[in-house]
Homo-oligomer: A and B are copies of this chain.
Amino acid sequence: MKKERKLVIAGVGLIGGSFALALRKQNAFERIVGIGRSTATLVRARELGIIDEAAASVAEALEGADLVLIAAPVAQTEAILALIRPHLRPGTIVTDAGSTKTDVVAAARRALGEKIGQFVPGHPIAGREMNGPEAAMPDLYRGKKVILTPLTENAVKDVEYVGATWEACGAKIHRLTPEEHDRVFAAVSHLPHLLAYALVDDIAGKPHAELLFQYAASGFRDFTRIAASSPEMWRDITLANSAALLQELDAYLARLQSLRGHLVSGNGAAIEAVYANAQRARLNWSVSIESAEKQVRQGGES
């Protein structure tokens, strides 16, 4: 008799729940079980058909598991892996969905010890403004990127298995080292979050904040949308990736100081050069992103 394929989701919210729903649709696993801190969330995930059952214990969950996805705030990764370790048998692969990778890899090495080869680090570049199992949807990863940052200890077939599982969700696999990953996301994600939070905090702290917010319009809305994200989650990311983030922040501060100089001296040509360079890059980027998304949609339909 063929063994039942079993998936364990640690954290059945938006990210873990969408992974489960996508794989259920593909019949990639016969059994999907959830573990997590909140019983209410696990009950809800079962009602929504995300998991078949909440495991009674980590031991029970890991029994016969093929794949475990950790989809919890990054600061919890080490504790979850430490719980898993005693029950982690050869043949079970663990992956994660954390937004930072260098710290996650370090945490995994501490928590898993000699079993580190069974952990394949990953990061799906997808999300929604909502959280929790109710927000989960089978198409969340369709056409999105998933970045794997494999370890030298990983078996090639295990990395390929994790990649193929994400591909079954409709995602496109990319590979970076953990350090490359963190440097890239410090620039294009973590720094913008910090900047947006800082701007809203700055405005909210002014004596005439109410007047200011009254006249804030659509440009402000788009610029600050990411400042509505979870402060706990972003505190964790900020701390976990603080070295790369500091480097990006300092480069940006230097750029702002240079622009400030042009403002003081009234150097319109220099200001326009910066703005025009940015506009050109922004337009090129949106054209290439839109054409990539179009290819994915067409590929998905063929």
Contact = CB atoms under 8 A, between A and B. Distances in A.
A278 B215 contact: no
B231 A279 contact: yes
A189 B259 CA distance: 17
Contacts of A212: 184, 187-188
Nearest to A127: B218
A106 interface: no
Contacts of A259: 194, 198
Interface stretch (A20-28, A47-55, A88-96, A222-230): A222-230
| This chain's copy number in the assembly | 2
B252 A198 contact: yes
Nearest to A123: B215
A135 interface: no
A191 B220 CA distance: 10
A156 to B, nearest CB: 24
B274 A245 contact: no
A21 B279 CA distance: 30
A216 interface: yes
A79 to B, nearest CB: 16
A263 B69 CA distance: 29
A251 B202 contact: yes
Contacts of A196: 223, 278
16 contacts: A192-B224, A195-B199, A197-B274, A201-B274, A202-B251, A204-B281, A205-B277, A221-B286, A223-B223, A232-B272, A235-B268, A238-B271, A238-B275, A242-B263, A242-B264, A249-B256
